[in-house]
Structure 1
Amino acid sequence: MEWSLTIDKAMPRPLRVILRGVGQVFFCCNAVTGLIFLVALFIGGVTAGAAATVGVISSTVAAYLLGFSEDDIDAGLYGFNGTLVGPCLFLFLENSPQLWLYVVLASVLSSVVLAALMKILGPYKIPASTSPFVLTCWMFLVAVYAFDSFSRGPVLPHPGTPAVVTDAVAIPADMWFTALSKGVAEVMFADSVIVGILFLTGIAIVSLRGALMAVGGTVIGVVLPMLLGANQGMIEMGLYSFNPVLTMMAVGWVFLKPDGRSAVLAVLAGVLTVVCQAGLASFLAPIGLPTLTFPFVLTMWMFLFAAGMSKYWSHPAAE
């Protein structure tokens, strides 16, 4: 929407860059959308909002100090991985004063990893997306075993053999709206219907197609796992939805020509993301790591590389 772009451009540059970094979690280079996302995070939890703020500032400042592309920094591309790092570490680790330093270090590292991956993937016009966040957080979550100052949080999976699901049942009708909304909110680790609605509102300000792709992703993340007999609690919390949300937005709106053909490909990619997430969860269970957004990253990479070989879909756009 034009009014949001006007406000975006009128903001002081430092604030605009930081808020764009938050917006880029959902591929939205818009400070107004980023502000809505950040406010939503604070509504979901003050600690999560503060951690996201520290993360996006740390990763963005690090990119400036390291001399990375100012165009990429201004677009918020060095902010969104840091935005995710903060809430992630506070979710999976015990809250402590040292954890704030951990967040800053991990956010700074995410910018270094992003620059490296952009160099590697750039010639293929494939985006690094949230892979720096995933790789960095995996490293820091495993590293806590070596440091006495940090402790695992109760949410972090315990290493062990993957468990067989035995409680798969249909979701009650009154839980559908909750599951669908939380599927969008869980992209930033928020277990909240209100946060999910605000996230969709922020996306719609930038693109109605983007918002529709997000809705399509969360629908797939609820319906398909239910049909396949996944754990009901995980479905209701949106834990099968947040990856398809990002996949469908990336394939059906951002990196391929936004038309009917890319929409069809996005649906197929969303379906595969659900299966990929289940497989990766079982693969990572022995070392006690969460999948985070890696199912989205892996599926998106496969589909964007494949699209470059097809006569039906455009080549992926540069990040």
Structure 2
Amino acid sequence: MDWASRVDRAFPQPLRVILRGVGQVFFCCNALTGLIFLIALFIGGVAAGAAATVGVLTSTVTAHLLAFSKKDIDAGLYGFNGTLVGPCLFLFLEHSPQLWLYVILASILSSVVLAALMRILRPYQVPASTSPFVLTSWMFLVAVYGFESFTRSPVLPAAGIPVAVPGAGGLAVENWPVALFKGVGEVMFADSVTVGILFLAGIAIVSLRGALMAVGGAFVGIVFPTLLNANLNAIEMGLYAFNPVLTMMAIGWVFLKPSGKSAALAVLAGLMTVVCQAGLASFLTPIGLPTLTFPFVLVMWMFLFAAGMSRHWADPDAEGG
């Protein structure tokens, strides 16, 4: 929207870059949207908001110091992985003074990994997206077993043999709005309806289609797991929804030309993301790691590679996370 772009440009340049980095978590290159996201994170939890702030600042400054592409830095592309790394480590590890150093180091690495993956993937015109966040977080979560200064939080999955979890019936219709908004919020590890609503508002400022794709992804992440009799608690917490949210936004709004065909492809990609998440969760259980946003990344890559072989979808003309 034009007014949102004007507000974005009104922010002082350094602050604009930082806030754009937060906004790029949902593919939104807009400082106002990033500010709304950051406020929402602090509403969800002061520690998560502070960790996201440290993460985006560190990853962006790292990109400047290493003289990466100024255009990419200004667009916030070196900020969103750091934004995710901070809350992730604070969720899955017990809080301690050393954890702040851990967040800083992980945020630095996320920018280095992003630059490397952008170089590798550039010939294929496929974005690295949140893969640096995933790879960096996995490395740092596994590394804690070698350091006595860090302790796993109860939220981090315990390593073990995968076991079937009963679905315990379908999600009641009256609980769907809660699951939907939480699904949007869980993209940044926020188990909050309020945070999810604010995230959607921030996306809508930039693009109504983007917000609709996010809602569609959350809806897919409720209906499809319910039909497959997935774990009811996981569905209601939005844990099956946050990956389809990103997948549908990427395919239906950001990286393919927006159209009815790309919207239909986005729905199919969202459905596949649910299956991919369940499969990866079982695959990662023996080593005690969460899936994070890797189901989204994997499905997005596959669909974008496939779209490049089809005459139905044009090359992407937009940038985003």
Q: Shorter-chain TM-score category?
A: over 0.9
Q: Which residue identity is paired with 1:211?
A: A
Q: 1:269 aligns to what?
A: 269
1:171-209 Cα offsets, whole Å, 9 max, x none, are 123211100110000000000000000000000000000
Matching of residue 28 in structure 1 with residue 28 in structure 2: yes
Matching of residue 308 in structure 1 with residue 308 in structure 2: yes
The residue correspondences of 1:205-284 to structure 2 (distance < 5 A) are 205-284=205-284
How far the C-alpha of 1:314 sits from its partner, in A, is 1.4
1:147-178 Cα offsets, whole Å, 9 max, x none, are 01011011000001112022431112321110
Q: In percent, how many aligned pairs have the same letter?
A: 77
Q: Tell me how far apart the structure 1 counterparts of residues 164 and 216 of structure 2 sit (CA, whole Å).
A: 28
Q: Tell me how far apart the structure 2 counterparts of residues 316 and 12 of structure 1 sit (CA, whole Å).
A: 29
Matching of residue 149 in structure 1 with residue 149 in structure 2: yes
The farther-off stretch of 160-169 and 276-285 is: 160-169
Q: Tell me how far apart the structure 1 counterparts of residues 96 and 165 of structure 2 sit (CA, whole Å).
A: 34
RMSD of aligned alpha carbons: 0.8
Q: TM-score, length-normalised on structure 2?
A: 0.98
Q: 2:204 aligns to what?
A: 204
Q: Tell me how far apart the structure 2 counterparts of residues 106 and 37 of structure 1 sit (CA, whole Å).
A: 21
1:252-309 Cα offsets, whole Å, 9 max, x none, are 0000000111001000000000000000000000000000000000000000000000
Q: 1:54 aligns to what?
A: 54
**Retained in 2: the 8 A contact 1:308–1:316?**
no
**Retained in 2: the 8 A contact 1:126–1:316?**
no
How far the C-alpha of 1:75 sits from its partner, in A, is 0.1
How far the C-alpha of 1:318 sits from its partner, in A, is 7.2
Q: Tell me how far apart the structure 1 counterparts of residues 100 and 222 of structure 2 sit (CA, whole Å).
A: 34
Q: Tell me how far apart the structure 1 counterparts of residues 40 and 4 of structure 2 sit (CA, whole Å).
A: 17
Q: Tell me how far apart the structure 2 counterparts of residues 213 and 36 of structure 1 sit (CA, whole Å).
A: 19
1:46-65 Cα offsets, whole Å, 9 max, x none, are 00000000000000000000
1:211-249 Cα offsets, whole Å, 9 max, x none, are 000000000000000000100000000000000000000
Q: 2:83 aligns to what?
A: 83
**Retained in 2: the 8 A contact 1:307–1:316?**
no
Q: Any stretches of 5+ residues in structure 1 without a counterpart?
A: none
Runs (4+) off by over 3 Å: 316-319
Secondary structure in 2 matching 1:299: helix
Q: Which residue identity is paired with 1:93?
A: L
Secondary structure in 1 matching 2:191: coil
Q: Which residue identity is paired with 1:110?
A: S
Secondary structure in 1 matching 2:166: coil
**Retained in 1: the 8 A contact 2:21–2:77?**
yes
Q: Tell me how far apart the structure 2 counterparts of residues 123 and 166 of structure 1 sit (CA, whole Å).
A: 44
Q: Tell me how far apart the structure 2 counterparts of residues 3 and 314 of structure 1 sit (CA, whole Å).
A: 28
Matching of residue 135 in structure 1 with residue 135 in structure 2: yes
Q: 2:181 aligns to what?
A: 181
Q: Which residue identity is paired with 1:53?
A: T
1:102-133 Cα offsets, whole Å, 9 max, x none, are 00000000000000000000111100000000
Q: 1:45 aligns to what?
A: 45
Q: Tell me how far apart the structure 1 counterparts of residues 167 and 216 of structure 2 sit (CA, whole Å).
A: 26
Q: Tell me how far apart the structure 2 counterparts of residues 22 and 315 of structure 1 sit (CA, whole Å).
A: 25
Q: Which residue identity is paired with 2:127?
A: P
Q: Tell me how far apart the structure 2 counterparts of residues 103 and 121 of structure 1 sit (CA, whole Å).
A: 26
**Retained in 2: the 8 A contact 1:125–1:317?**
no
Q: Tell me how far apart the structure 2 counterparts of residues 114 and 318 of structure 1 sit (CA, whole Å).
A: 18
Q: Tell me how far apart the structure 2 counterparts of residues 167 and 69 of structure 1 sit (CA, whole Å).
A: 47
**Retained in 1: the 8 A contact 2:254–2:318?**
no
Q: Tell me how far apart the structure 2 counterparts of residues 129 and 57 of structure 1 sit (CA, whole Å).
A: 18
Q: Which residue identity is paired with 1:270?
A: G
